[in-house]
Amino acid sequence: DHEEEGDEEEESDSDDEDHRPDLARTTVVGYELLADKLTGVAKSDASAAQEHDRIVPMYRKFEQLNHRVLLHLQDEIAELEEELRCTDECIAQCLPRNEAGQVYPASRRGDARYGGELQYKRTELLGRIYLKLGQYNQALSSFSSMLKNLDTASPADIQTYRTWLQRHCPIDSNEARFLECKDDLVAISRPHGSASGTGGGGGVSPHQRAAVGLPLIAVFPLMAFAIVPGLLARLFILTVIGAAEVFVVTSSELMGLMTVREWFVCASM
């Protein structure tokens, strides 16, 4: 009996080893496969086929639900606003007055230290309004920004997305039904590279850099004459500045703005 139990344990251990996952492999399925496709991680051999098979990331904006939430928050804040106005009115009518019948100046510190139930209620109301306004402003700003910055998904992109899902079946068909809400889909386009014709330096063109650099080249000698008093010192400074300017012009894109002869004419002036 003990030998049979030992054999069964060995068989169980061998079965566990057979079903143990091989972490050296990379198996991409399900939502991970879809996310890789949307990110552009999945690469195909032919670039033309890859471009044809590319799918544009798109998601539902849930416009109707956003309006529902905003309407709900808006009415909650309006209700709190009415309650605050009522509380303010009650406090105003109960405030002590001076001999002339005028109300004493309001004091938040005095209300916090010596206020009654109405003052405490007003402070609590303001706290609730603050939290609710934060939710409302965040929802309104986020929804408005989404509508302004994201474009509606095109029918062709939706069809390409649907075709790829039907071909590869990475997720359940019920969870892919969001593509049926065509009017509620927004596309997230990938940023394109910098436009042609702009050089480095954050997209600043050579002409723009020249507009800044050339006036400085003309101003440096004048500054040298104003700062350096002696003649020999001025000549030395002018020589250094001239050599530096020649180096800057010849080693940058400024050289291509004019011919060599035109640069010599400018230098002689």
**Do the domain assignments include residue 73?**
yes
Q: Tell me which residue has tokens 């004019």.
A: 258
Do 128 and 244 lie in one domain? The reply is no
Do 158 and 224 lie in one domain? The reply is no
Do 100 and 168 lie in one domain? The reply is yes
Range of the domain at 165: 60-187
**Do the domain assignments include residue 8?**
no
Spatial distance between the Cα atoms of 269 and 258, rounded to a whole number of angstroms: 15
Do 67 and 150 lie in one domain? The reply is yes
**Do the domain assignments include residue 12?**
no
Angle at 53 between CA 47 and CA 59, to 5 degrees: 130
Last residue of a domain, one of 139, 155, 187: 187
Do 70 and 176 lie in one domain? The reply is yes
Do 157 and 88 lie in one domain? The reply is yes
Do 82 and 137 lie in one domain? The reply is yes
**Do the domain assignments include residue 10?**
no
Report the pLDDT value the prediction gives residue 100, as an integer from 0 to 100: 75
Do 75 and 165 lie in one domain? The reply is yes
What's the number of domains the chain is made of?
Answer: 2
Do 216 and 177 lie in one domain? The reply is no
Tell me the angle at which helices 231-250 and 206-227 cross, rounded to the nearest 10 degrees: 170
**Do the domain assignments include residue 36?**
no
Report the pLDDT value the prediction gives residue 52, as an integer from 0 to 100: 58
Spatial distance between the Cα atoms of 138 and 135, rounded to a whole number of angstroms: 5
| Nearest in space to 53 (alpha carbons), one of 66, 67, 40 | 40
Report the pLDDT value the prediction gives residue 4, as an integer from 0 to 100: 55
**Do the domain assignments include residue 164?**
yes
Last residue of a domain, one of 187, 216, 251: 187
Do 229 and 132 lie in one domain? The reply is no
Do 177 and 220 lie in one domain? The reply is no
**Do the domain assignments include residue 31?**
no
Do 65 and 162 lie in one domain? The reply is yes
**Do the domain assignments include residue 241?**
yes
Last residue of a domain, one of 187, 215, 242: 187
Provide the residue-wise pLDDT of the chain in tens; the chain has 269 residues: 545 555 555 556 555 556 787 788 888 889 888 898 888 754 444 444 455 568 899 999 999 999 999 999 999 999 999 999 999 999 888 877 777 778 778 788 888 888 888 889 999 999 999 999 999 999 999 999 999 999 999 999 999 999 999 988 999 989 999 999 999 999 987 665 444 444 444 455 555 555 555 666 666 666 666 676 776 776 777 777 777 766 666 666 555 556 666 656 665 55
